[in-house]
Amino acid sequence: MALRFLKKRGYHLIEKNYVCKLGEMDIIAREKDTLAFIEVKTRTSTFFGPPQLAVTSSKQRQLSKVALYYLKEKRLEDVKARFDVVAILLGQEGEEVELIRDAFDLNWP
């Protein structure tokens, strides 16, 4: 669902479920000249808040470490990059998908 949503918005998939020794990144994609590290959060209700609230500061730090590792591993340190979040709410009225571009800044370890 998230991949289809992103492709319709001009994103080109590079990696899905990228795993390294520091953790995992749901999606790595390119949008124009920018590399997007994308976290996907899905919820069936907003009882605990909207899905994007699950990307806590500790999760942001962990994702930052994975992104830095990826950039170094692929020798892409000079590439423009950002963090996006795809928030998916699966409710009784159907699904709501929201893209939050530049959801948070790189958290240096």
- Domain edges within the chain: 2-104
Cα separation of 69 and 71, whole Å? Answer: 6
Residue 98 clears pLDDT 70, i.e. is over it: yes
The strand pairing partners of 81, in sequence order, are 35
pTM of the model as a whole: 0.90
pLDDT band at 92 (very low <50, low <70, confident <90, very high): confident
Handedness of CA 13, 11, 89, 55 (dihedral sign): positive
Q: What is the pLDDT of residues 49-63, one digit of tens each?
A: 888 888 889 999 999
Q: Which fold has domain 2-104?
A: Trna Endonuclease; Chain: A, domain 1 (3.40.1350)
CB 35 within 8 A of CB 81: yes
